[in-house]
């Protein structure tokens, strides 16, 4: 619709919109996170919801403890192999539409504790992640920026066609395989449907990467 006509009409008290805009506007401004703090990043998440950097003004009014009532899971902190089945189970119990923010270096790829027998090298080995925030720990402003990025992402989701979100696709899975405890490692060590490795190049050091690029 023509923008000028829209503004003229709204000055007269008539608001025009599409169903898609209205649906996404309602969804993006009331994303309720789940209280899922694992480690140090959880303290920054709590500080973000406190009086100084208030997260409630962006729509995250209450942090729900139950996964059935939450829309967003902020994985803040290191995910260890002992905790990974619980994380995936909680994700499975959340109702669609659901989103995941991986907060901090540990949730993205293992972080500073990457060389470890008990550290899961990134939560995106088992569940799909929407926004990654780097940092150790990321500042509260970075978490607010990630929240706004998520809102922008929700806003751009179309209701029909190929760009539609997962909860409107009939045969897209919403529950993922829960890993079991094995004798030496988790079984399976990763979920191949979720964990896509983009480049299969021969591993090399950073200097050789630059040489290859040129």
Partner 1 sequence: MLEEIKVRIESAVPGCQLEIIPNGSPSGQHSLLLDPPHALEVAKFLRDDPELRLDYCSNVTGVDWLDTEQSPGHLEAVYHLYSMEKKHGPIVLRMRTENRSDKVHLPSVTPIWRSAEFQEREIFDLYGIIFDGHPDLRRIMMWDEFEDHPMRKDYVEPDDYEYEPTPHDHVLTRAKEHVERNPQ
Partner 2 sequence: MTSRLTTPVYEEMPEDISDRIDQGELLEIALGPHHPSTHGVFRMDVVLDGERVVKLKPVFGYLHRNHEKIAESASYLASMPYTDRLDYICSLSNNWAYALAVEKLAGLQVPERAEYIRVITAELTRLVNHSATIGFLTQEMGASGTPLMYAFREREKILDLFESLTGSRMMCNYMRFGGCRVELPSGWLEQTKKIVEEFPRFLDEYERLLTGNEIFMARSQGVGVLKKNLAINAGITGPMLRASGVNYDIRKVDKYGIYDRFDFKIPLGEHGDVYDRYMIRMLEMRESLKILNQALRDIPAGPIMDPKAKIRGFRPKPGESYGRIESPKGELGFFLISDGSPNPYRYRVRPPSLINLTVLEDMCRGYSVPDTIVIFGTVDIVLGEVDR
Residues forming contacts to partner 1 in the complex (CB under 8 A) are 81-82, 115-118, 121, 181-185, 189-190, 195, 197, 200, 202-206, 209
Q: How far is CA 87 from CA 12, 74, 183, 209, in A?
A: 51, 11, 20, 35
Burial class (CB in 10 A: 0-12, 13-18, 19+), 201: exposed
Binding site partner of 188, from partner 2, partner 1, none, Cβ cut-off 5-8 A by kind: none
According to the binding rule CB under 8 A, does residue 182 interact with partner 2?
A: no
Q: How far is CA 162 from CA 27, 157, 168, 170, in A?
A: 20, 10, 10, 12
- Alpha carbons 82 and 16: distance in angstroms, whole number: 52
Could you count the other beta carbons within 10 Å of the beta carbon of residue 31? Answer: 21
Q: Which of residues 84-103 bind partner 2 (CB under 8 A)?
A: 86, 90
Binding site partner of 142, from partner 1, partner 2, none, Cβ cut-off 5-8 A by kind: none
Closer of 19 and 51 to partner 2 (Cβ): 51
**Choice from 36, 91, 99, 126 touching partner 2 (CB under 8 A):** 36
CA dihedral sign of residues 98, 40, 84, 35: negative
- Alpha carbons 64 and 102: distance in angstroms, whole number: 18
**Choice from 24, 28, 44, 129 touching partner 2 (CB under 8 A):** 44
According to the binding rule CB under 8 A, does residue 117 interact with partner 2?
A: yes
- Alpha carbons 99 and 58: distance in angstroms, whole number: 16
Binding site partner of 189, from partner 2, partner 1, none, Cβ cut-off 5-8 A by kind: partner 1
Assign 3-state DSSP to the chain and report helix, strand, coil percentages, each to 5.
40, 10, 50
Candidates 14-22, 109-117, 170-178, 182-190; binding stretch for partner 2 (CB under 8 A): 109-117
Binding mask 145-174 vs partner 2 (x if CB under 8 A, - otherwise)? ------------------------------
- Residues at the interface with partner 2 (CB under 8 A): 35-40, 42-44, 46-47, 50-52, 65, 77-78, 80, 82-83, 86, 90, 112-113, 115-119, 136-137, 139
């Amino acid at each position: 619709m023509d923008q000028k006509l829209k503004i003229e009409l709204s000055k007269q008290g008539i608001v025009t919109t599409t169903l898609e805009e209205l649906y996404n506007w309602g969804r993006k401004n009331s994303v309720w996170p789940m209280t899922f703090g694992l480690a140090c990043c959880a303290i920054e998440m709590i500080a973000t919801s406190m009086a100084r950097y208030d997260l409630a003004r962006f729509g995250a009014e209450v942090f729900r403890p139950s996964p059935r009532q939450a829309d967003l899971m902020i994985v803040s902190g290191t995910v260890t192999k002992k905790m990974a089945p619980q994380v995936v189970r909680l994700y499975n119990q959340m109702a669609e539409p659901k989103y995941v923010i991986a907060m901090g270096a540990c949730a993205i790829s293992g972080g500073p504790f990457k060389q470890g027998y008990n550290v899961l090298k990134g939560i995106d080995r088992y569940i799909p992640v929407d926004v990654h925030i780097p940092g150790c720990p990321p500042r509260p402003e970075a978490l607010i920026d990630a929240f706004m990025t998520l809102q922008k992402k929700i806003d751009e989701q179309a209701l029909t066609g190929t760009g539609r979100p997962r909860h409107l696709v009939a045969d897209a899975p919403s529950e993922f395989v829960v890993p079991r405890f094995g004798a030496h490692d988790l079984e399976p060590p990763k979920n191949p449907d979720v964990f896509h490795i983009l480049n299969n190049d021969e591993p090399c050091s950073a200097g050789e990467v630059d040489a290859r690029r040129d």
